[in-house]
Amino acid sequence: MVFIDAAGLDHQALNQKIREAPEDTLIENCLGQRFIGAGTCDKTIEIHGIPGNALGAYLNGSHLSVKGNAQDAVGDTMNNGSIIVYGSIGDAAGYAMRGGKIYVKGNAGYRAGIHMKAYQDKKPVMVIGGRAGSFLGEYQAGGLIAVLNLEKPSEKCVGYFPCTGMHGGKVFLRSDCHDVVFPEQVSARPASPADLEEIEPYVREFCMLFGYSFDQVLEGPFTVVTPDSKNPYKQLYTAGV
């Protein structure tokens, strides 16, 4: 394990040290440096402190864990690997992610999982232990998002306009969602045992990471949201003359 003291380093210097490190790295005193681990495929990085925006952007197989909160755009366009955050994360987490996993113990800001996609064996997963802000899963085209609402179950698990423009993938909300308004083009229903089977391995992993009881968490209730069409714009256009 290589220790990197991030105090006083800018993002370029810090990432250079990470790239040069021959083995796993532990970053101490992280304070807002952006793009940590961007585009890497073979690193294991533990971060103490608060990484800046775009943590693990274009991540391609590395494993990042943050003992603290993370900021905006965690895992932007991520292709593979994992990002585990022991605190909360900011806005637009997992933007356009195509593969890998993001596990967050706390809450997520606005637009979590926006335009998340899936392809063949690539199926991105995002599990949020707390609550998610507005526009969760906006334009979602694939993959799984689960919001468990474990920290303050009495509060609404998700903000306004979840799943707007969704045309693929699934969203699981650990709530009966009587207080959530969904847009017209998606269907929300109580999760079936088959649905739950789909998220079970990820919930189990989440519970092991953050010390929750798997059985209790899976008790739910869970609502599952799926899009009605993978071609939402099909009827919109007519040929010009």
Partner 1 sequence: MGIDYIVPEFEVDRNEQRCIHCRVCECQCANEVHSYSKEAGIMLSDETRCVNCQRCVSLCPTRALKIVKNPCSFRENANWQPDLIKEVYRQASTGGVLLSSMGTPKPYPVYWDRILINASQVTNPSIDPLREPMETKVFLGKRPEKISRDPEGNLITKLPPQITLSMPVMFSAMSYGSISYNAHASLARAATKLGILYNTGEGGLHEDFYRYGPNTIVQVASGRFGVHEGYLEAGAAIEIKMGQGAKPGIGGHLPGAKIVGDVSRTRMIPEGTDAISPAPHHDIYSIEDLRQLVYSLKEATNYEKPVIVKVAAVHNIAAIASGIARSGADIIAIDGFRGGTGAAPTRIRDNVGIPIELALASVDRRLRDEGIRGNVSLVVGGSIRCASDVVKAIALGADACYIATAALLALGCHLCRTCHSGKCNWGIATQRPDLVKRLNPDIGSERLVNLMNAWRHEIMELMGGMGINSIEALKGNRLMLRGVGLSGKELEILGISHAGE
Residues in contact with partner 1 by the rule CB under 8 A: 11-12, 15, 19, 34-35, 38-39, 41, 53-54, 57-58, 60, 72-73, 76-77, 79, 91-92, 95-96, 98, 111, 114-115, 117-120, 122, 138-139, 141-142, 165, 167-168, 230-241
Q: Which is nearer to partner 1, 189 or 230 (CB)?
A: 230
Which residue in 99, 109, 61, 62 sits closest to 77, CA to CA? 99
Q: How far is the CB of 16 from partner 1 (least distance, A)?
A: 9
Tokens of residue 46, six digits: 């533990």
Smallest gap from Cβ 32 to partner 1, in A, equals 12
Instruction: Rank residues 51 and 223 by Cβ distance to partner 1 and give the closer one.
Output: 51
Q: How far is the CB of 120 from partner 1 (least distance, A)?
A: 8
| Residues in CB range of 208: below 8 A, 6 or more apart | 214
CA distance 120 to 98: 10
Taking the complex as a whole, the smallest distance from the CB of residue 122 to partner 1 amounts, in Å, to 7
Q: Is the CB of 78 or the CB of 148 nearer to partner 1? A: 78
Nearer to partner 1, 96 or 163 (CB): 96
Pairing of strands 223-227, 168-173: antiparallel
| 22 or 193: CB nearest partner 1 | 22
Q: How far apart are alpha carbons 58 and 51 in whole angstroms?
A: 16
Query: 3-class SS at 207?
Result: helix
Answer positive or negative: Cα dihedral of 194, 80, 147, 229. Answer: negative
Q: Which residues pair with 115 in a beta bridge?
A: none
CB of 111 to partner 1, least distance (A): 6
In the DSSP assignment, the letter for residue 130 is S
Comparison of 81 and 148: residue with beta carbon closer to partner 1:
81
Q: How far apart are the C-alpha atoms of 32 and 46, rounded to whole Å?
A: 15
CB of 93 to partner 1, least distance (A): 10
Residue 126 CB neighbour total at 10 angstroms? 31
